[in-house]
Structure 1
């Protein structure tokens, strides 16, 4: 993804950012829920809606999304027909409730994000053209090692 799309995504969320909140990275992705039994987790629409608020509800309607990670939250935007960030927020999850559960990089890259302790989360799938964006998002969400 080029820098223009990322800059446009940052512009789309600028009006909803809290004072001092900074965008970290943005990328387009196919968004889905964890499949039953994956990583020992069973996710139903009810759990997603209860654990992640509007994100779970949005997942059932919109697969192609734009994901913006800030220093405080993960924000989901619709994706336009041409693949850019759309207007309006589909959902958001506080950063402290988002954990990188799994990352697989390849021709099709995959990130599994867990939301809190309720066992819910999302799977983000990236085509080859967006592999660097998947890597950047994974790096930003990776836990900081404690020494």
Structure 2
């Protein structure tokens, strides 16, 4: 059993007690959620470089989460745990209020980016799928309605 298969099983086990009667899981995957501005990236790298006299290099990235798409909701579990297992439930979106923009390739084609449109919100939510989860990203975009 691969590591990703094991994480999917662990995420399913974490989500199961939260599912309503008759609610079914359509997809379990992982993604980096949100964005980090260039300004914050540069500031963090400069600060760490100065404090470490150039011996340490630091980067910042969006928060990694496990996603569980059910027939009713989209659940986000913390993946930034010491063991890598799914942590606490961080966010929950009702599926009828979520739409997906077209999938596009990220930096060097190694990632897949999908913008989620949230009903009633001016700004969406960016999901960046790393290499092992790119196919899941395309599947997620196909399972959600297309964003206008």
Q: TM-score, normalised to structure 2's length?
A: 0.69
Contact 1:102 1:113 (8 Å CA) reproduced = no
Do structure 1's residue 125 and structure 2's residue 128 form an aligned pair?
yes
User: Once superposed, what is the RMSD of the aligned Cα atoms?
Assistant: 2.2
Give secondary structure in 2 for the equivalent of 1:85. coil
Equivalent position of 2:67 in the other structure: 67
From 18, 25, 33, give the equivalent of 1:31: 33
CA distance in 1, matches of 2:114, 2:36: 11
Equivalent position of 1:85 in the other structure: 86
Bigger relative contact order (CA 8 A; separation at least 6):
1
Q: Displacement, 1:33?
A: 5.2
Contact 2:101 2:141 (8 Å CA) reproduced = no
Distance change in 2, residues 1:98/1:85 (3 Å): same
Q: Displacement, 1:141?
A: 1.6
Do structure 1's residue 7 and structure 2's residue 4 form an aligned pair?
no
Deviation string 1:30-60 (CA, Å, 9 cap, x unpaired) is 110598xxxxxxxxxxxxxxxxxxxxxxxxx
Distance change in 2, residues 1:17/1:141 (3 Å): same
Deviation string 1:103-135 (CA, Å, 9 cap, x unpaired) is 114421101101103223210111222212212
Q: Structure 1 stretches of 5 or more lacking a match?
A: 36-61
Alignment length (residue pairs): 116
Contact 1:33 1:121 (8 Å CA) reproduced = no
CA distance in 1, matches of 2:122, 2:36: 9
Equivalent position of 1:22 in the other structure: 24
Contact 2:68 2:74 (8 Å CA) reproduced = yes
Q: Structure 2 stretches of 5 or more lacking a match?
A: 38-61
Equivalent position of 1:98 in the other structure: 98
Contact 2:31 2:129 (8 Å CA) reproduced = yes
